[in-house]
């Protein structure tokens, strides 16, 4: 029987899914808070975790975008 996902993993997956479904999604941290309904500190932690795993990249103008995959 699979182990249930932790609340943190569920949040990470929810954000991954949203970016996967909308490849051109560009969000600032405050926009991401609103879109995902997260507290500021939680939102920053999620965005930073996804940058660490190379799923998201932060642009020079402060937007979080899906990391381009090499072809």
Q: What is the pLDDT, as a whole number, of residue 1?
A: 62
Model pLDDT, residue 7: 87
Q: Give the integer Cα–Cα distance in Å for 34 and 30.
A: 7
Tokens of 59: 């642009």
pLDDT classification of 70: cutoffs 50, 70, 90: low
User: pTM here?
Assistant: 0.86
Residue among 68, 42, 71, 40 at smallest CA distance from 55: 68
- Top CATH class of 7-66 equals mainly alpha
Q: How high does pLDDT run on average in the chain? A: 91
Q: Which residue has the higher pLDDT, 15 or 2?
A: 15
């Amino acid at each position: 029987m699979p182990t249930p996902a932790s609340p943190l993993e569920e949040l990470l997956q929810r954000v991954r899914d949203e970016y996967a479904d909308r490849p051109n999604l560009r969000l600032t941290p405050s926009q991401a808070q609103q879109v995902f309904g997260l507290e500021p500190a939680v939102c920053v932690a999620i965005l930073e975790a996804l940058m660490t795993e190379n799923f998201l990249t932060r642009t020079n103008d402060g937007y979080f975008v899906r990391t381009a995959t090499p072809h």
